[in-house]
Amino acid sequence: MKKFINNIDTLIDESLSGFTKAHSDIVELNPQPHFIKRINPSKSGKVAVISGGGSGHEPLHAGFVGTGMLDAACPGQVFTSPTPDQMMDAAQAVENGGGILFIVKNYAGDVMNFEIASEMIDFPNETVLIDDDVSLPKNHSTGRRGVAGTLIVEKIVGAAAENGVDLPTCKSLGDRVNEVTASMGVALSSCTVPAIGKPTFELADDEIEMGVGIHGERGHETIKMRSANDIVTQICEAIDKDLKPQKGQLGLLHVNGFGATPLLELHLVYNIAAEYWGQKGINISRSLVGNYTTSLDMAGCSITLSLLDEELIKYWDAPVHTANLRWGC
């Protein structure tokens, strides 16, 4: 294993310190317990939007703290849920009279710890649970995982909160975006968790893994390597079958890299996916391509389609100023 590491035990501390120094105009770090919060004050009465999860998915979530998106993010250790005290202290730090909205990816540890925090804080609070991964069936025992669609929910709900929308409406909006968002990923190689020092699973040189999660989990199928057209079409078909978009609908197409795939390839994937839905009469009116919900050094990508209406477009287009997503400011 070759990585830029001094000590496994201090990796997260040092990384968070560097992140907040690099973006000191936007965020600040609370060292113990860890959370990142926005510097610029929000309006009184604004809903505070908080998310979090294991490290290793950067820039999710800390990279999306700032104006028009998250008020705070709680990072756990690599691929490990943050603890309830992180959420509770973050809520105390950013609550401003409008209550707290937690955005939680559907992983058992995240769900449990955010639920504990929500029961222990004194502020009104709601939770949006993200489960956009269509590689798992809807009746899966623990439900579908929350993956790259999380960013889309955070952006749209964050914009609504910034514009004064109240807590119940932000909760309803987040649930609605989640319902019209579907994702699926494919890995060309596994990732290496620093504390383990070896790949979480092995693939032969001529194999790829369909339906992977973002924690180094295997997918639902190991298949032989094939053309980009064939791989992308298989993913798009699974998403299309789940969302059932109608001809003429507006869509946001997000191609997300897992950390080790160059933009040269990600834009090729986007081109194939955009043509797939274009041929079905879906109007891809918004796009996002790049590494946003990563899995350490995994090679591969995910494709996300969100169905849009005019309200969702308004909040997607609204100004945002964070370390890793910014426009309109």
Catalytic residue list: 57, 215
Is the distance from CB of 197 to CB of 241 less than 8 angstroms? no
Closest-CA residue to 185 (of 96, 251, 258): 258
Structure-token pair, residue 96: 């401003």
- Name every residue whose Cβ is closer than 8 Å to that of residue 275 and which is 6 or more positions away in sequence: none
Is the distance from CB of 137 to CB of 146 less than 8 angstroms? no
If phi > 0 it is left, if psi is from -120 to 50 it is alpha, else beta; for residue 259 that is: left
Determine the Cα–Cα distance for residues 319 and 297; give it in Å rounded to an integer: 31
Structure-token pair, residue 36: 């990142």
